[in-house]
Structure 1
Amino acid sequence: MLQNIRVVLVNTSHPGNIGGAARAMKNMGLSRLILVDPLDFPSHEAVSRASGASDILDNAQVVATLEEALVGCRLVLGTSARDRRIPWPLMDPRESATAVCAEASDGAEVALVFGREYAGLTNEELQRCQFHVHIPTAPDFSSLNLAAAVQVLSYEVRMAWLAAQGQPSKVEKFEVTSVRSGQLATADELEHFYGHLQNTLVEIGFLDPEKPRHLMARLRRLFSRSAVNKSEMNILRGILTETQNAARGLVHKRGNKDV
């Protein structure tokens, strides 16, 4: 589906923006870049800014007119930051991404069109688009870098595509440990820990065994919710041991002073 989506940059002035746009596309799984009459391309600056997405640049299609860039497209969306005299059907990036993915998944060719850095798309160019996409930036600073605009729309397309594919938008990372360290602490290990914890709390004066006030029950509930593994249990036991050593050291120092 993503291969049906093309990013079209019109009359781009700065080659660095072309490279930045290529990087944004590759980040989000898009690969088809079409450049309409770029002022400076190919360029070492574009490759440098692409930061590893030079394959997007190598395969970029360069054409003379927007008309050529849109051949075969069933849906064309043009970005526009300025108000126009003739209102056009408007979408925000999220709405546009949903429409793009719906058409692309049906086998249609789709184009996301971005204009010049200094002036955007002309009215004539925008009239070649079925929809205008407006990125809701802060009103007092609405100008957005070209590569950043490509990143915004590419990201929304990525999110819509993941949703359409039933894929998660986040991947949980798990700590790399030995198999044994990653296993949950056993019931007997937990009981030894609770005994160690209680003794330590009594020793440092935090727990009064004559008036426990359900402290240990609350701590048991806390650690039961935490699903402590063997590695974490070793850490906790180590902390308790060092706490006891520190407390005994203080008592010993005070005893020497009294003598």
Structure 2
Amino acid sequence: MTGLDHMALNIRIVLIKTWHPGNIGAAARAMKNMGLDQLYLVDPVDFPSPEATSRAGQATDVLANATIVPTLAAALADCALVIGTSARDRSIPLPALSAEQSAQQAVAEQTQSPVAIVFGRERMGLHNDEIQQCHFQLNIDASPDYPVLNLSQAVQLVCYEIHKASLIQPIRPTEAYPLHQELAHFQDHLANTAQAINFINSRHPGQVMEHLQAVFRRARLTRKELSLLRGFLTAVDKTDRRDQESDAAH
């Protein structure tokens, strides 16, 4: 079996609010070492920076072509698979994958739509609302005595696994998955409908919507299934409006 053209891999590395510019440069170098060239920076603290350029080595082209965006949602809008790296357990857990499993899935699905691997801040990692924008959580196996990796080291390890996975012809997915932006629109529609029919109290929503959003992310709905659910919500909206109009008439 033949592998894939590494530079053609539609996989982006997303770094959120990176504090140290040297980590950005080192991440760019790690990416180029392993044949990746799509670097997305979400609200970086210090970039462009001479230190980033210095740490990048021969990967200054990756830095020069980096996409800078203000929010994580902007970095993920056109992605159909989002994998967030985190060493911490969450109150609303996502399906967990190893670095190897994440790479295999990323290489397979990037043939249809962009894939994002998301890395959080050096000290705090990903916030809960950020990990909830992901479909899977990537856990890097490490010694329980000290399982915390430097940001650029984590990027290097994940990029290496992607490189290995790219050497094997992937099994292409048979279904098309919705993009992050399409799923976000569905979640907004779901929240609005849930409030309209008093399923949740807008003043005291609790974690109901977060749990519902996690359900649909874990389910990995196809585009066809998502369209069906949007149609269902639209029908519920119309029925609710008719009921309100009927009550007002009486």
What residue number does 2:76 align with?
Answer: 70
What residue number does 1:121 align with?
Answer: 126
State how far apart, in whole Å, the 1-side matches of 2:9 and 2:41 are: 17
2:98 paired residue among 70, 84, 92: 92
2:39 corresponds to 1:33: yes
2:132 corresponds to 1:132: no
State how far apart, in whole Å, the 1-side matches of 2:83 and 2:92 are: 16
Measured against aligned partners, the alpha-carbon deviations of 1:95-135 in whole angstroms (never above 9, x if no partner) come to 00110011012x21100000000000000000000000000
- TM-score, normalised to structure 1, is 0.62
User: Amino acid of the residue matched to residue 160 of structure 1?
Assistant: A
State how far apart, in whole Å, the 2-side matches of 1:85 and 1:73 are: 25
- TM-score, normalised to structure 2, is 0.64
2:168 corresponds to 1:163: yes
Max Rg structure: 1
Instruction: Say whether the 8 Å CA contact 2:9–2:107 is kept in structure 1.
Output: no
How far off is 1:3 after superposition? 3.4
State how far apart, in whole Å, the 2-side matches of 1:104 and 1:67 are: 18
What residue number does 2:175 align with?
Answer: none
Bigger relative CO (Cα 8 Å, ≥ 6 apart): 2
Q: Percent sequence identity over matched residues? A: 55
User: Amino acid of the residue matched to residue 57 of structure 1?
Assistant: L
How far off is 1:37 after superposition? 0.2
Q: What aligned pairs does 1:187-226 form with structure 2 within 5 A after superposition?
A: none
2:1 corresponds to 1:24: no
2:78 corresponds to 1:81: no
What residue number does 1:141 align with?
Answer: 146
Kindly report structure 1 stretches of 4+ aligned residues shifted beyond 6 Å.
none
Unaligned 5+ runs, structure 1? 166-259
Measured against aligned partners, the alpha-carbon deviations of 1:50-86 in whole angstroms (never above 9, x if no partner) come to 0110000000010100000001100000000111122
SS in 2 for 1:151: helix
What residue number does 1:51 align with?
Answer: 57
User: Amino acid of the residue matched to residue 17 of structure 1?
Assistant: N
How many positions carry a matched residue from both structures?
Answer: 164
State how far apart, in whole Å, the 2-side matches of 1:23 and 1:81 are: 23
State how far apart, in whole Å, the 2-side matches of 1:48 and 1:3 are: 26
